[in-house]
Structure 1
Amino acid sequence: MSTDSAPAAQEPDREPDQGPDLADVPPGLAALFVAFARMSLAGFGGVLVFARHAIVEQHRWMTADEFNETFALCHFLPGPNIVNLSMVFGARLRGLAGGVAAFAGLLLPPTLIMTVLAIIYAHFGDLDVLRRSLGGISCAAVGLLIAVVLRMMTPLFKRIDVVALILMLGVFLAIGVLRLPLQAVLLVAVPVSIGATYFLRRKVAA
């Protein structure tokens, strides 16, 4: 009996955070510019939320783990994290030209818009309704930031990576609660993180 009519086995649904099928062909320079321009134009309250959504979930240019690792690297580079991310991400896919394209897409549109808004604010900044509007926008920005932080933590919880969670909690307590200097905490946390990762991988390989 022919098996052509047998229903094909359905593949289980896979969430983007669980390992998406990455794009086979890296995006071109124009695609990088447009993608980061759209992120910057949509990024009210911070571009990180929209950058992760576009890179991991929409275009699937990175897995959730790769995005977390790249963003972590950008924390140790001078300058704003999201600007560093655009350069590192673009260069990773298309070399130096890709980094420049992503960087330009991220900064050019908001720079033009903010120049116009600065001129307007200089004339109407004392209006009470404008101040209240900015206060509401700041609350929404905090909510968006908390949401993306929780999304970035999801892979750690799914893997039950106890060591990573302990290190993350330790850094949070040191900086957020004890108010220790960021540079001093990083000087301790980075070697400890690298050492713990190296030791665990050697243990697994053995």
Structure 2
Amino acid sequence: MIRSINRTPEQSSVRFFLFVVAVDLIDLSRPRLSDLRHSRLQMDLELLTDDDLDAMRRAPKVIVNPRARWVRKGGHREKNFTLHDARDATQAYRLFVRISETNETVYSVGLARVWSPEATLVLVRYNGPYHPHRNIVERTKVPAGCHRHLATHRYIEAGLDADGYAEPVSHYNSVESAFDSLCRDFEIAPHAFNPFQPELEF
């Protein structure tokens, strides 16, 4: 025999409150898809050795969109070139240039490996002399001056920015020479265009 249980309104309200709290806790404990993707990417990156990272930097590359245009973002402008491995067009890279609108010493030229829009790894950056940099793992400081960042296994493994390590350099002193140096140093095919030529306005 089924008994009917009569509950007061107060008892019903308490049960409903506990049910809502329980559902909220279950939802909070469930990892978000974006978190899972980030965790998987982090685990995959941790498999990369310094030799793997250097091999990607040294792979011969070709720029496939030489007519890339400048885009303004906040206080700087940015241009992104798409590249692929000269031996395997399925291996994609991105070459980026960022320049401050107000300070010509604030610039960055970088090379990234691209697996998908959500999975990109900056392999190297050539930065201007606008700030000093502290290497967290090594506990060393790079004084203000032109310096380059390199992705390393130890920074990935430590959960830090992959390209968090930097070292001083002296073979460029402007964004133009930084661009040319990075292309020369990391096997990007010579280009017959001026990436810094002002674009015509119509």
TM-score by length of 2: 0.26
Which structure would you say has the larger RCO, counting Cα contacts within 8 Å and 6 or more residues apart?
1
Of Structure 1 and Structure 2, the greater helix share is in 1
When Rg is computed on C-alpha atoms for both structures, the one with the higher figure is 2
Of Structure 1 and Structure 2, the greater strand share is in 2
